[in-house]
Amino acid sequence: MTTTYRAMQVNRPGVLELVERVTPTPGIGQVLIEVEACGICGADAGDIEGADPTLQPARVPGHEVVGRIAALGEHVPSNWRVGQRVGIGRLGGHCNECSQCRQGNFQLCQNQPFVGASCDGGYAEMMIARASGLVSIPDELNAEEAAPILCAGIATFNALKKSGAQAGDTVAILGIGGLGHMAVQYARRMGFRVIAVGRGSDIEQDAMDLGAHAYIDANEADAAETLRNMGGAHAIVTTIGVPAAVSALMPGLAPQGRLILLGAGKDPLPVSSGHLVVGERSLLGSITGTPYENEKTLDFSVLAGVRPRIEVMPFEQANEAYQRMKSGDVKFRMVLTVDRKRNSSSTSDAGSEQEKSAQYP
């Protein structure tokens, strides 16, 4: 194992810096992961732009991480072994002690780190992770394919499972981007009638190729009225955090339909209480999910042939890749890859983070 590893850390808000760090030793209940790939998620923007400039060492972002276990800490469960392919998503591992964990709601653990935000993530050659957050990666998926499924995949897969819709029902997906393009694929393979809703005609063919039965361009038509004319949506999964757009689509819900929110934001969401009450409609927020649910998502992806559409760049170009993601210049997910040959052949001496680091504005 190398004595040092490279990482892209948030030197100051909005700035990623390539540094060299001493390879850490995993503590109790932790593992050291040799990273092979890490997806870039829209949520990374909050971690990078809103980073604490006083934090030392600076935070390493990234929460769609796939790699292999390089070392085990004490008291790691026996189902994890050195060399095993694993991943970790946004939720960094439940504590098994809080009230939510005692109820089995591990995704709602009150003492769980958020990878890339409250603990270091995967824009690096190595990272430490709690064993309770680990996800086993199927052999049928390569690292680049699996990485986005650990966040965008499980978020949309779980949202559809919570939707209450049954095979043959109409399900609308609002926002056909990094999350939405996964939601369309899962919804089609779950047997739903899939209606993709976006803005602009440029995404229509992509939506249809992904499995949508119909596409509604909200720039050209009243999307809610169009849904009503189709009999209403039994479920609407929203992948965007724009309250006005979400609120405008709600009248398209069929009676007893359910709106599932994935796009998070701080602004209030205008909701017609009468529309909810009279039609017995409901509103539900959905977080990603537990490691077990993540493994179910990966298995379903293999079984049903669901794959993220990705662009791949070397992890050393993380800043360029991040900027492209932030500007919307990616279809549909960006994934960073780590040159394992370089990592395994490195003989760098142990030491503190080097002053020779390169900065990328």
pLDDT band (50, 70, 90) for residue 339? confident
Q: Is the pLDDT of residue 352 over 80?
A: no
User: In whole angstroms, what is the distance from residue 195 CA to residue 208 CA?
Assistant: 9
How far apart are the C-alpha atoms of 171 and 174, rounded to whole Å? 10
Mean pLDDT of the chain: 93
Higher pLDDT, 309 or 339: 309
Q: Two tokens at 236?
A: 């609407």
Q: Is the pLDDT of residue 166 over 60?
A: yes
Nearest to 108 by CA among 297, 269, 288: 288
For the chain, list the domains and their CATH numbers.
Answer: 4-152+289-360 (3.90.180.10), 163-285 (3.40.50.720)
Say if residues 275 and 252 touch (Cβ distance below 8 Å).
Answer: no
Token representation of residue 276: 């909810």
Percent of the chain with pLDDT over 70: 94
Q: Is the dihedral of CA 11, 17, 19, 23 positive or negative?
A: positive
In Å, what is the CA distance from 29 to each residue of 62, 123, 132, 349?
21, 22, 8, 27
At 342 the pLDDT is 61
Q: How many CB atoms lie within 10 A of CB 102?
A: 9
User: 157 pLDDT exceeds 80?
Assistant: yes
**Whether 218 contacts 197, CB under 8 Å:** yes
What local confidence, expressed as pLDDT, does residue 264 receive? 81
pLDDT of residue 288: 94
Max CA distance (Å), the chain: 68
Q: 3-state SS of 175-211?
A: CCCCCHHHHHHHHHHCCCEEEEEECCHHHHHHHHHHC
User: Which amino acid appears at position 178 of this protein?
Assistant: G
Give residue 358's pLDDT: 33
The string of pLDDT tens digits covering residues 74-121 is 999 999 999 999 999 999 999 999 999 999 999 999 999 999 999 999
Q: Count Cα atoms within 13 angstroms, Cβ side, for 153.
A: 30
Residue 340's pLDDT band, with cuts at 50, 70 and 90, is: low
> Is the pLDDT confidence value at 279 over 60?
yes
Burial 302-330 (b: 16+ CB within 10 A, else e): beeebbbbbbebebbbbbebbebbbeeeb
| Rounded distance between C-alpha atoms, residue 136 and residue 129, angstroms | 13
Helix (H) or strand (E) holding 158: helix 154-161
C-alpha span between 164 and 174 (Å, rounded): 17
Q: Which of 65-69, 167-171, 209-213, 357-361 has the lowest mean pLDDT?
A: 357-361
pLDDT (0 to 100) of residue 361: 31
Residue type for position 94: H
pLDDT at 2 over 80: yes
Res. 61: pLDDT tops 90: yes
pLDDT computed for residue 356 by the predictor: 31
- Alpha carbons 69 and 87: distance in angstroms, whole number: 9
pLDDT at 344 over 60: no
Does position 127 have pLDDT exceeding 70, yes or no?
yes
Label residue 343 by pLDDT band (50, 70, 90): low
Distance CA 196, CA 198 (A): 7
pLDDT at 360: 28
pLDDT of residue 85: 98
Q: Is the pLDDT of residue 185 over 80?
A: yes
